A and B are shown apart, each in its own frame.
Chain A
C-alpha cells in the first residue's frame, strides 16, 4: 500500500477510510470522484464534474482524475485475474 509519493501515515489513513483522512478539500473531492467511478460509475452525472471544478480542477485535471482512476480499476482487474503480485 505504501507508495513512493505518499508518507506512511497518509497511506495508512487512506487504507483505513479515506473519508477520515487529513486531506485538502480538493484532494477529498478528487477521491470522492474516483471512488464513485470505482463503485457506481453508472451514477455519475454532470454535477460530479462540477464538484471537481468547484474544488479547483480544470478540465485537464478532471480528465486526469477520470483516466487514472479508470486505469487503476483496469490494473486491479488484470492483476487479480492473473495473479500479478500475489503469492504462489
Chain B
C-alpha cells in the first residue's frame, strides 16, 4: 500500500468516483484489463491514479493527459507505448 492516505475507486464518494470514471473513460478500451504484475496477493492493486486521490482535481488533470496521448488514432501503437514505459522504468530502476 502507498505510504500516504489513498482512496481507491471502491471506497470513493460521489465526487471522487466521478473523477475516477472520467479518467478511466479516456483510456483506450484494451487498457481496462488490469496489469497482472500490479495486482497484490490479496487481489487489490496499487494504483498510481489512486496515489493522487487526496486532491481529486489534480488527479483528474495529471492522469488524463497520458490517456489522451495513448489514443489509438495517434501514430504510436500500444506496443510502442509499453516499450517506452518499460525502458524508462528500467532506466529509473522503478518497479512501477
Contact = CB atoms under 8 A, between A and B. Distances in A.
Given A84-B2, A85-B95, A1 B69 contact: no
Contact of A67 (B69, B78, B80): B69
Nearest to B38: A85
B76 interface: yes
A31 B82 contact: no
Nearest to B73: A60
A71 B65 contact: yes
Nearest to B77: A5
A30 B79 CA distance: 12
B18 interface: no
Nearest to B31: A4
Interface string A50-88: 000000011011001101110111111111101111101
Interface of A: 1-6, 10-11, 14-15, 18, 27, 30-31, 34-35, 38-39, 57-58, 60-61, 64-65, 67-69, 71-80, 82-86, 88
27 contacts: A1-B37, A3-B82, A3-B85, A3-B86, A10-B83, A15-B86, A34-B84, A34-B88, A38-B91, A57-B75, A58-B75, A60-B75, A61-B74, A67-B65, A68-B66, A68-B81, A72-B89, A76-B92, A76-B94, A76-B96, A78-B48, A79-B95, A82-B4, A84-B51, A85-B48, A85-B96, A86-B95
